[in-house]
Amino acid sequence: MAYVITDSCIKDELCVDVCPTDCIHPKKDEPQFETATQLYVDPDGCIDCGACVPACTSDSTFVADELPDDNKQFLENNAAYYAKA
């Protein structure tokens, strides 16, 4: 997985708007959006373009290898979201 979103995500979908591969979910028009506490990056769809990082106004998106130690669990959380899908 190239990028990971953490729980400081405010679900404003700015990252969704700039993602060229449509790999950030759930979106407002998806049933899971209301109950999701954050957005998630699909590890299979991400092409490592980095467009989501500057678009994120809540500083919630990180390169997976650069996740702060206190956010390492979000690597697994993002992957688990897509494992259920």
- Model confidence pLDDT, tens digit, residues 12-71: 999 999 999 999 999 999 999 999 999 999 989 999 999 999 999 999 999 999 999 999
Q: What is the pLDDT of residue 79?
A: 87
Distance CA 85, CA 59 (A): 26
Q: What is the pLDDT of residue 2?
A: 86
Q: What is the 3-state secondary structure (H, E, C) of the chain?
A: CCEEECCCCCCCCHHHHHCCCCCEECCCCCHHHCCCCCCEECCCCCCCCCCHHHHCCCCCEEEHHHCCHHHCHHHHHHHHHHHHC
Q: What is the pLDDT of residue 43?
A: 86
Confidence label for 1 from pLDDT (cuts 50, 70 and 90):
low
Paired sense of beta strands 3-5 and 61-63, if any? antiparallel
CATH of domain 3-84: 3.30.70.20
